């Protein structure tokens, strides 16, 4: 016998008994996002490596450490670690800037990051997300955050925390970076290795560090004063205040987290995350923000944009309802030929049906029916003789003899 081949570390099979909730996540995405005018887009799973290096940013962990990159015909290709870059590529390539703004797109599908697997963190995981192009006004930011909250509500998840922040524009951010570097300079040698690199390459990302000794430095009064200070310019502050007032109007509770900088380089102004207290350390179900320069940076007509993505495995683990996916009917009949005919009749009429393939005794078949179905459809000798069937509601144990036409009505 050969060796057993196992599923790869950080990847998972999604099994039939889990599908009811997966379908719910997908169907609700289609419904909630189409109701808001978003069209679904499906981009390829692999893209040119350069798209992510330039799109997500070459100082990010995602690009530096986590990409599944391979070569084919001397081309460097990468399994998508996220879908914003791919959607932007498609937006540009298909000339979507010519459509009237806003252009609204949503997607779902697998993403790949070579991370250390742990609870809530996989190497292949799934995201559902939206991207909206062409609106600079803070109403767009409010709509996108509202949409995330509505989608989560549709899945029964309303006990979540919305955190927002503004990263300002490239100009005000430069200012902030300089101030941050100045105040951190005396602590440079105490920063962790990653933070020392960030200090040189991308100081904003320092704030995202989870190492306790770094976090402690950010709590020092003079450092904290810089972090908590209002570094963003007047225009950016106005945009952020408008967003807050729109969220208030929509009744969305949020808190401002000045340490929220996100792990991808393309953001400016609004960034946000939605977190759950029931997820342990990987507590973000949703991350997103505004990226007004990405379309231009990737070679398109400069177009502002904002979006979010949610981790579907994390949503799944929060949806604690019973993952029940019972059959509508189980045909109980000791005559296999009659069973085959009746099962086909029910399936043709869109009733989810199965039966016993092996002609077991009546009582065994009834036991099986009680386990897997809502109704037992019983076809015994009497029923065949009278041209009726008996239907037993397996929850209430009520049983009635009916004609085939009535049968459909009951099962529906
Ligand atoms: P992100 O924060 O990297 O943003 O990912 C969004 C969400 O995907 C996270 O909040 C988390 O729920 C889930 N996620 C990320 N990595 C993993 C993993 N290894 N295992 C399981 N779940 C994970 C983005 O990807 C941006 N593209 C979001 C965006 C869209 N920004 C603007 N538009």
Query: What is the domain-level CATH number for residue 67?
Result: 3.30.930.10
pLDDT at 148 over 80: yes
Number of neighbours of residue 348 by Cβ within 10 angstroms:
9
Q: Closest Cα partner for 268 from 306, 296, 224, 309?
A: 306
At 324 the pLDDT is 64
Over residues 180-198, the mean pLDDT reads 93
At 1 the pLDDT is 78
Distances (CA, A) of 50 to 81, 129, 263: 13, 22, 18
Q: How confident is the model at residue 321 (pLDDT cuts 50, 70, 90)?
A: low
Q: Which of 273, 296, 318 is the last residue of a domain?
A: 318
Any domain includes 348 = yes
Sorted by sequence, the CB contacts under 8 Å of residue 376 that are 6+ apart come out as 329, 330, 331, 332, 366, 369, 370, 391, 392, 394
Q: Strand, coil or helix: what is 11?
A: coil
Q: How far is the CA of 7 from the centre of ligand 1 (A)?
A: 23
Quote the percentage of the chain above a pLDDT of 90.
Answer: 83
Residues 289 and 380 in one domain: no
Residues 401 and 253 in one domain: no
pTM, 2 dp: 0.89
Any domain includes 50 = yes
- Span 96-147, pLDDT tens digits: 999 999 999 999 999 999 999 999 999 999 999 999 999 999 999 999 999 9
Q: How far is the CA of 311 from the centre of ligand 1 (A)?
A: 6
Residues 339 and 268 in one domain: no
Q: Which token pair is 36?
A: 């808001």
pLDDT at 153 over 90: yes
What span, in angstroms and rounded, lies between the C-alpha atoms of 289 and 295?
14
Pocket flag, ligand 1, residue 310 (CB < 6 Å)? yes
- Span 63-75, pLDDT tens digits: 999 999 999 999 9
Q: How far is the CA of 310 from the centre of ligand 1 (A)?
A: 6
Residues 294 and 155 in one domain: yes
Pocket flag, ligand 1, residue 163 (CB < 6 Å)? no
Residues 236 and 353 in one domain: no
Q: How confident is the model at residue 23 (pLDDT cuts 50, 70, 90)?
A: very high
At 136 the pLDDT is 97
Q: Which of 25, 56, 62, 82 is the best mutation target for the ligand 1 pocket, counting ligand atoms within 8 Å of the beta carbon and taking the most?
A: 82
What span, in angstroms and rounded, lies between the C-alpha atoms of 121 and 61?
14
Direct distance between the N- and C-terminal alpha carbons of the chain, in angstroms, rounded to an integer: 48
Over residues 79-95, the mean pLDDT reads 98
Residues 272 and 403 in one domain: no
- Span 31-47, pLDDT tens digits: 999 999 999 999 999 99
Pocket flag, ligand 1, residue 115 (CB < 6 Å)? yes
**Domain with 388 in it: what CATH number?**
3.40.50.800
* 271 and 165 Cβ atoms separated by less than 8 Å: yes
Q: Which of 318, 346, 366 is the last residue of a domain?
A: 318
Q: Strand, coil or helix: what is 175?
A: helix
- Span 301-315, pLDDT tens digits: 999 999 999 999 999
Q: How confident is the model at residue 155 (pLDDT cuts 50, 70, 90)?
A: very high
Q: Strand, coil or helix: what is 118?
A: strand
Dihedral sign, Cα of residue 192, residue 194, residue 195, residue 199: positive
Residues 83 and 24 in one domain: yes
Q: Which of 287, 318, 349 is the last residue of a domain?
A: 318
Residue with tokens 């902030």: 176
Over residues 6-34, the mean pLDDT reads 96
At 270 the pLDDT is 98
- Span 264-290, pLDDT tens digits: 999 999 999 999 988 888 899 999 999
Q: Which token pair is 358?
A: 């092996």
> Side by side, which strands form the sheet with 103-112?
39-40, 103-112, 124-133, 305-311, 284-290, 268-275, 161-166, 255-256
Q: Which atom of ligand 1 is nearest to the CA of 262?
A: 2
Over residues 373-377, the mean pLDDT reads 96
pLDDT at 58 over 90: no
Alpha-carbon Rg of the chain, whole angstroms? 27
Number of domains the chain is built from: 2
At 323 the pLDDT is 57
Number of neighbours of residue 344 by Cβ within 10 angstroms:
11
* 127 and 311 Cβ atoms separated by less than 8 Å: yes
Any domain includes 8 = no
Distances (CA, A) of 266 to 29, 80, 292: 25, 16, 8
pLDDT at 7 over 80: yes
What span, in angstroms and rounded, lies between the C-alpha atoms of 202 and 195?
9
Any domain includes 261 = yes
Lowest mean pLDDT among 41-50, 85-94, 233-242, 257-266: 257-266
Residues 313 and 331 in one domain: no
Report CA 280 to chain centroid distance, whole Å. Answer: 18
Any domain includes 216 = no
Dihedral sign, Cα of residue 11, residue 66, residue 163, residue 289: negative
Residue nearest to atom 13 of ligand 1 (CA): 311
Q: Closest Cα partner for 177 from 105, 226, 212, 239?
A: 226
Residues 129 and 155 in one domain: yes
Residues 264 and 369 in one domain: no
What span, in angstroms and rounded, lies between the C-alpha atoms of 301 and 91?
10
* 125 and 13 Cβ atoms separated by less than 8 Å: no
Q: Which atom of ligand 1 is nearest to the CA of 81?
A: 25
Q: What is the mean pLDDT of the chain?
A: 94
Q: How confident is the model at residue 322 (pLDDT cuts 50, 70, 90)?
A: low
* 305 and 131 Cβ atoms separated by less than 8 Å: yes
Task: State residue 77 phi and psi, 5-degree precision.
Answer: -120, 155
**What is the span of the domain harbouring residue 69?**
16-169+232-318
pLDDT at 381 over 90: no
Q: Closest Cα partner for 338 from 407, 387, 401, 405?
A: 387
pLDDT at 8 over 60: yes
pLDDT at 208 over 90: no
Dihedral sign, Cα of residue 248, residue 253, residue 258, residue 262: negative
Any domain includes 403 = yes
């Amino acid at each position: 016998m050969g060796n057993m081949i196992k599923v790869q570390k950080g990847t998972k099979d999604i099994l039939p008994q889990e599908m009811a909730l997966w379908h719910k996540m997908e169907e609700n995405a289609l419904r909630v996002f189409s109701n808001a005018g978003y069209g679904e887009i499906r981009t390829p799973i692999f893209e040119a490596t350069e798209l992510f290096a330039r799109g997500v940013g070459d100082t990010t962990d995602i690009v530096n450490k986590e990409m599944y990159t391979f070569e084919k015909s001397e081309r460097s290709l990468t399994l998508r670690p996220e879908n914003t870059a791919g959607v932007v590529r498609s937006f540009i390539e298909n000339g979507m800037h010519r459509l009237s703004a806003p252009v609204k797109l949503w997607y779902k599908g697998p993403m790949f990051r070579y991370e250390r697997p742990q609870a809530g963190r996989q190497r292949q995981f799934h995201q559902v997300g939206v991207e909206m192009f062409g609106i600079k006004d803070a109403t767009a930011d409010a709509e996108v955050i509202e949409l995330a909250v509505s989608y989560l509500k549709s899945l029964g998840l309303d006990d979540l925390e919305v955190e927002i922040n503004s990263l300002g524009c490239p100009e005000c951010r430069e200012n902030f970076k300089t101030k941050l570097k100045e105040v951190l300079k005396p602590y440079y040698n105490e920063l962790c290795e990653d933070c020392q690199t960030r200090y040189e390459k991308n100081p904003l990302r320092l704030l995202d560090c989870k190492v306790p000794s770094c976090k402690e430095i950010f709590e020092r009064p003079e450092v904290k004063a810089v972090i908590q200070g209002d570094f963003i310019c007047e225009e950016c502050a106005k945009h952020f205040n408008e967003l807050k007032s729109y969220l208030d109007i929509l009744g969305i509770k949020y808190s401002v987290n000045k340490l929220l900088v996100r792990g991808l380089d393309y953001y400016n102004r609004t960034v946000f995350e939605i977190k759950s207290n029931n997820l342990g350390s990987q507590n973000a179900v949703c991350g997103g923000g505004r990226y007004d320069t990405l379309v231009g940076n990737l070679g398109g007509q400069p177009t502002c944009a904002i979006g979010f993505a949610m981790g579907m495995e994390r949503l799944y683990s929060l949806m604690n309802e019973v993952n029940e996916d019972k059959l509508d009917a189980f045909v109980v009949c000791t005559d296999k030929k009659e069973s085959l005919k009746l099962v086909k009749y029910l399936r043709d009429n869109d009733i989810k049906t199965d039966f016993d393939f092996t002609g077991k005794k009546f009582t065994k078949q009834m036991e099986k029916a009680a386990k897997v179905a809502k109704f037992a459809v019983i076809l015994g000798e009497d029923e065949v003789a009278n041209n009726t069937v008996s239907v037993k509601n397996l929850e209430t144990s009520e049983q009635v003899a009916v004609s085939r036409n009535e049968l459909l009505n009951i099962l529906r």
